[in-house]
Structure 1
């Protein structure tokens, strides 16, 4: 069975989006050296996804010809019905509510030997972390300061120290960090090359 991984980018002051869910600051870093290879290495190990409603709404608003996670079953936590446009037709997208534990078990089983990706957002990932269901954090630090916004992992107190498994410097001043959360088993992602840190 694979790991439950939160793969995410954040500003150096710990925000994944502005208060208004603006990500323009992040898109400026698209195409940086090493970024695509790092993502490809990660996504090859993914067997299923879980995301929040805001993340799904963001995907709806993007100019996408098709669902970017083709063939991967996806669970979307939402308090109401959300559309599935024709460009996403045929994909296994399930809308769920309630506690994260049962959905986690279902999604992890669907992932098989591969990993389960918590795509976002931070509040949803924090629910998994607080229940001890989050195994790894794969964080790309973006060299900008937002000052406020949606927190990377909004928790009700400090955590124990995370174990650093790997690190890699990417282009445009980005840094990829791979952590294991306290008390969690070794994961299913090959360690990133350690470079320059």
Structure 2
């Protein structure tokens, strides 16, 4: 069954990027892509991706050789350059309208919300986010792009250490917990 998963990393104080969209604080950390909750194991189960325009533009600027090997939707209201060789779909649609197409393209594998806490929140607001997998780096940023800028109730499913990071897998609770 296809799950929609927000898989990301955050600083200890809850930011996924600095105010100028830098990820230097994360990219300098030692992790094992094959380790617990590592990227390689995660991406093997992904069939489609979604990202916001800021994440996409960061990829274009910092990782231009990275081409998603699966269909990817970029949520934007702007015309953006397309990475050559990638199956990219620019959309200004509501996540609820686009989600069915993403699930169909994933062909039984997961949909990855790549970046953008607000985009992940939009999926959560519509009841479409199933899991949050977050790796927490031992650094505080003080400001920047928030991990998830709204209230979302989560239940811890798994905790592991991967190099310098602590990774936690949560399921999204559809109804808030009492108390």
Residue in structure 2 matched with residue 187 of structure 1 by the alignment:
none
Q: Structure 2 unaligned runs (5+)? A: none
Give the 3-state SS of the residue equivalent to 2:19 in structure 1. Answer: coil
Q: Distance in 2 between matches of 1:169 and 1:148?
A: 25
What is the correspondence of 1:65-84 to structure 2 with a 5 Å cutoff? 65-67=65-67, 69-70=68-69, 72-84=70-82
Q: Distance in 2 between matches of 1:91 and 1:12?
A: 33
Contact 1:10 1:141 (8 Å CA) reproduced: yes
What is the correspondence of 1:88-127 to structure 2 with a 5 Å cutoff? 88-127=83-122
Deviation, structure 1 residue 147 = 1.0
Give the TM-score normalised by structure 1.
Answer: 0.83
- In terms of fraction of residues, the more strand-rich structure is 2
Q: What does the per-residue CA deviation read over 1:149-192, in whole Å, with 9 as the maximum and x for residues that have no partner?
A: 1100001xx333x22111111112x10100000039xxxxxxxx
Q: Structure 1 unaligned runs (5+)? A: 185-197
Q: Distance in 2 between matches of 1:75 and 1:171?
A: 31
Give the 3-state SS of the residue equivalent to 1:60 in structure 2. Answer: helix
Aligned residues, how many? 173
Q: Distance in 1 between matches of 2:55 and 2:137?
A: 19
Q: RMSD of the TM alignment (CA)? A: 1.5
Q: Distance in 1 between matches of 2:28 and 2:161?
A: 17
Work out whether 1:26 is the aligned partner of 2:21. no
Residue in structure 1 matched with residue 61 of structure 2 by the alignment:
61
